[in-house]
Amino acid sequence: MTAKAFWFVLGCVLSFPFAAAGQGVDPSAIDSILGRSGQKTADVYKLAFSRTDLHVTVRGLAIKPGLALGSWAAFSGTDSHAMALGDLVLLEAELNPVMDKLRGEGFEITAVHNHLMDEAPQVLYMHYMGHGPASHLATSLKAAVSVSKTPLEKPAPPAEEPGPPAWVTTVQDSVGRNGAFKGGVLSYGVPRSDEITANGTTIAPAAGVAEAINFQAADSGLVATTGDFVLTAAEVNPVLSAFRAHQIAMTALHSHMLTEQPRLFFLHFWAVGDSQSVGAGIKAALGRVSVK
């Protein structure tokens, strides 16, 4: 073998792992196991399991599934070495049976807590992380979720969305950013400007470390907002102050992961008010966070 041929072959061998890693997980294989399709964002493949079976109210306001009842799973890595993390919306009686299933397959439970206050029935949120072949993770996740009453049949094709109502434009103007309107909910996922890692692996914004902000219509022409701000320690109290200055309530402050760097805190919030003032409060809070 000539020197030129040797270096060509060596270069191909050394570059192979990186090329394979760049391919990411195979969405079709995950879809076939979980019975639904997700959305690919960069190297993250994310699927939703909305609790459309639940009828949850907060102080009399019926919560749309997209506002605060969305279980999800985010897959990254490769088919043979994948990471799955996410958040499951569960009733109290479902929590430990689902947890047992996940732990039995080697998943880590990273947090269990509330996101809302004064909701009926009470819902809990269980955060998890797993590592292994993507097909095994998807199979294990389906078995665990099946213990709950989370709908697992393939979702019906979404009805054609009508044009967004006027409050959507007002909120977007007040926030200073455009969101995505679907199922009656205006959603934002605002990525942080810094890199988040866990056990040496970068966690992409789509895998649960972006500022998650949702809005829906409320009674009397008002809007409701909830979600979570992903914050470093230094950002927590400035964001709290911005929220309170705009009559936005904090409903929870806690962690979602175990080994992330930098250390993160998830601040959950709730408000009902006119679309302009609520949007302005969210904009003020975003101004205290290092986001893109």
Task: Tell me what the pLDDT averaged over the chain comes to.
Answer: 92
113-130 residue pLDDT tens: 999 999 999 999 999 999
Give the tokens for residue 69: 């009842």
Which CATH number goes with the domain that contains 85? Answer: 3.30.70
Query: CA 119 to CA 185: how far, in whole Å?
Result: 18
Last residue of a domain, one of 154, 189, 219: 154
Same domain, yes or no, for 52 and 115? Answer: yes
Same domain, yes or no, for 115 and 226? Answer: no
pLDDT higher than threshold 60 for residue 211: yes
214-231 residue pLDDT tens: 999 999 999 999 999 999
pLDDT given at position 2: 53
25-42 residue pLDDT tens: 999 999 999 999 999 998
Same domain, yes or no, for 193 and 108? Answer: no
Same domain, yes or no, for 179 and 290? Answer: yes
Query: CA 187 to CA 168: how far, in whole Å?
Result: 10
Which CATH number goes with the domain that contains 190? Answer: 3.30.1460
Query: CA 225 to CA 218: how far, in whole Å?
Result: 9
Percent of the chain at pLDDT > 90 equals: 87
Lowest mean pLDDT among 1-10, 61-70, 141-150, 184-193: 1-10
pTM of the entire structure?
Answer: 0.90
Same domain, yes or no, for 265 and 178? Answer: yes
Percent of the chain at pLDDT > 70 equals: 92
Same domain, yes or no, for 170 and 292? Answer: yes
How large is the average pLDDT for residues 269-290?
98
pLDDT higher than threshold 60 for residue 187: yes
Confidence bin at 23 (pLDDT 50/70/90)? low
55-113 residue pLDDT tens: 999 999 999 999 999 999 999 999 999 999 999 999 999 999 999 999 999 999 999 99
Last residue of a domain, one of 113, 130, 154: 154
Confidence bin at 16 (pLDDT 50/70/90)? very low
Nearest partner of 203 among 260, 254, 127, 258, judged by Cα: 260
How large is the average pLDDT for residues 250-268?
97
Query: CA 44 to CA 24: how far, in whole Å?
Result: 8
Same domain, yes or no, for 278 and 248? Answer: yes
Same domain, yes or no, for 204 and 267? Answer: yes
Is 10 contained in some domain?
no
Last residue of a domain, one of 154, 185, 215: 154
Same domain, yes or no, for 148 and 170? Answer: no
Q: Which 3 state secondary structure label does DSSP give 60? A: coil
Is 12 contained in some domain?
no
Same domain, yes or no, for 175 and 198? Answer: yes
198-208 residue pLDDT tens: 988 999 999 99
pLDDT given at position 6: 40
Same domain, yes or no, for 28 and 144? Answer: yes
Query: CA 131 to CA 108: how far, in whole Å?
Result: 9
Query: CA 21 to CA 269: how far, in whole Å?
Result: 37
pLDDT higher than threshold 70 for residue 9: no
Is 221 contained in some domain?
yes
How many folded domains does the chain comprise? Answer: 2
pLDDT given at position 156: 81
Confidence bin at 176 (pLDDT 50/70/90)? very high
Is 13 contained in some domain?
no
Give the tokens for residue 277: 């003032």
Q: Please return the burial class of 23, using the count of CB atoms within 10 Å of its CB with bins 0-12, 13-18 and 19+.
A: exposed
Is 19 contained in some domain?
no
Instruction: Count each helix (H run) and each strand (E run) in the chain, helices first.
Output: 8, 18
Q: Which helix (H) or strand (E) holds 187?
A: strand 185-191
Q: Ramachandran region of residue 213, left (φ > 0), alpha (ψ -120 to 50) or beta?
A: beta
Is 18 contained in some domain?
no
Same domain, yes or no, for 210 and 278? Answer: yes
Is 61 contained in some domain?
yes
Is 142 contained in some domain?
yes
Full domain range(s) for residue 101: 24-154
pLDDT given at position 155: 84
